[in-house]
């Protein structure tokens, strides 16, 4: 789907005033923004809802205009290493465009009402672009606030978690990895590792009901439906809140309940370290694990493999850089410029310890010893910037 961009708009003081008056509570908000006066250039198209590879990404210089722009970022979670890197990557990308006056940030800390209030507050302040990670609960629970911001004239781009709704109608665009595709990648890799004999697999997710884990599950189920040798012990991803300590506790419970676990699919690499510690504490050998990239995982692999011959590791990029794409697409919309970057990016495996996946690196090659645990080797931040982020 391709959307013709709007010309660069004047500030939306009338729309924001109307929105702030009507939206005393998010459930009562049904206001429509006053019309925006259109000025500046027209032309340009921004693709929305499209799918493509990493190679289709562009440079900020292609979409950065001259008119001042304000940006807001609301992260429904915002409490872990992934969120810290995501924020830093968006701020880094914003610095490449002098027209961006700043990035205002709010974290919901897993509290849905706090997240909705942050979206409402950013809208009332009159930000031009609003990036939202709708991860404080099911994606649809964020949609009324997102729709209200969109109606007020804000270019709203949900990132990294599906808010449901319709791009171009309820918000400008939704930008993420192709979540279902990641589930397919992990599941197929697991089938390949367990072979004809198959085995028992457990699934570890994030917060209960979150859209990311649920959409990954769709891809996982698609593959495992054709692999009867795979027995999924956890039909729904086990709730871990993407927290290493909670993941360790959850995995310890699974190990106590099931005498044989042959594979683990976990959708956050940093939290996966908790699962590994649970195996080690239980005296159980490590098994093949599919997850997202994490520096500690990469750096421990070779030593752990020496004592656990069945241990293998496959990761996809944790896509801490996804906000950069969302920001560029929103800027193109505001500035009347072309942007055909994919909205949903189909990733390949970033790491594969078996060496079978084309283009994937080994954990040893991904490992950056100078960086702390929790850093993402696939981040687009420089090593120095990542180190400084974790020192602060």
pLDDT digits over 81-119, tens only? 999 999 999 999 999 999 999 999 999 999 999 999 999
* pLDDT, tens only, 10-25: 434 343 333 333 343 3
* pLDDT tens, residue by residue, 256-294: 999 999 999 999 999 999 999 999 999 999 999 999 999
The closest alpha carbon to 218, from 264, 245, 187, belongs to 187
Q: Which two tokens stand for residue 188?
A: 């197929």
Above 50 in pLDDT, residue 34? no
At 348-370, the pLDDT tens digits run 999 999 999 999 999 999 999 99
Between CA 331 and CA 336 the distance in angstroms is 8
The pLDDT > 90 percentage for the chain reads 85
The mean pLDDT of the chain is: 90
pLDDT at position 29:
33
What is the model's pLDDT at position 308?
98
**Residue 379 vs residue 42, higher pLDDT:** 379
Alpha-carbon distance of 137 to 114, in angstroms, equals 11
346 backbone dihedrals φ, ψ, rounded to 5°: -90, 110
Query: At residue 33, does pLDDT exceed 80?
Result: no
Is the pLDDT assigned to residue 3 strictly greater than 90?
no
Q: Is the confidence at residue 26, as pLDDT, over 60?
A: no
Q: What is the pLDDT of residues 178-230, one digit of tens each?
A: 999 999 999 999 999 999 999 999 999 999 988 899 999 999 999 999 999 99
Encode pLDDT of 290-331 as tens digits: 999 999 999 999 999 999 999 999 999 999 999 999 999 999
**Model pLDDT, residue 44:** 83
| pLDDT for the residue numbered 392 | 63
Quick one: average pLDDT of 51-76? 97
How much is the CA Rg of the chain, to the nearest whole Å?
21
Residue 35 pLDDT: 31
């Amino acid at each position: 789907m391709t959307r013709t961009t709007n010309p660069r708009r004047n500030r939306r003081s009338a729309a924001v005033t109307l929105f702030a008056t009507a939206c005393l509570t998010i459930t009562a908000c049904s206001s429509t923004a006053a019309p925006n006066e259109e000025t500046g250039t027209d032309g340009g198209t921004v693709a929305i809802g499209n799918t493509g590879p990493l190679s289709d990404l562009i440079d900020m210089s292609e979409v950065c205009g001259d008119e001042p722009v304000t940006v807001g970022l609301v992260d429904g979670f915002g409490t872990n290493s992934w969120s810290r890197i995501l924020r830093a990557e968006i701020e880094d990308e914003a610095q490449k465009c002098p027209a961006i006056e700043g990035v205002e940030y709010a974290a919901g800390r897993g509290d849905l009402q706090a997240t909705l209030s942050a979206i409402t507050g950013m809208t009332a302040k009159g930000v031009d672009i609003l990036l939202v990670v709708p991860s404080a609960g099911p994606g649809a629970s964020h949609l009324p606030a997102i729709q209200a911001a969109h109606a007020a004239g804000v270019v709203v781009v949900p990132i990294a978690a599906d808010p449901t709704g319709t791009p171009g109608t309820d918000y400008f665009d939704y930008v993420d990895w192709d979540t279902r595709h990641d589930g397919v990648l992990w599941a197929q890799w697991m089938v390949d590792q367990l072979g004809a004999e198959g085995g028992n697999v457990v699934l570890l997710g994030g917060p209960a009901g979150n859209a990311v884990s649920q959409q990954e599950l769709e891809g996982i189920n698609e593959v495992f439906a054709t692999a009867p040798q795979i027995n999924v012990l956890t039909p729904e991803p086990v709730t871990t809140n993407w927290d290493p300590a909670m993941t360790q506790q959850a995995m310890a419970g699974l190990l106590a309940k099931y005498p044989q676990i042959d594979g683990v699919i976990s959708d956050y690499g940093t939290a996966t370290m908790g699962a590994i510690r649970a195996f080690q504490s239980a005296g159980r050998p490590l098994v093949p694990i599919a997850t997202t990239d994490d520096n500690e995982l990469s750096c421990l692999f070779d030593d752990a493999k020496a004592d656990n011959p069945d241990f293998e590791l496959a990761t996809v990029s944790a896509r801490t850089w996804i906000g950069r794409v969302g920001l560029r697409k929103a800027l193109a919309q505001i500035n009347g410029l072309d942007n055909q970057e994919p909205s949903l990016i189909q990733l390949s495996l970033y790491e594969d310890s078996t060496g079978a996946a084309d283009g994937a690196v080994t954990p040893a090659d991904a490992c950056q010893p100078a960086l702390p645990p929790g850093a993402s080797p696939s981040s687009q931040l420089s090593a120095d910037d990542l180190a400084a982020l974790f020192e602060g």
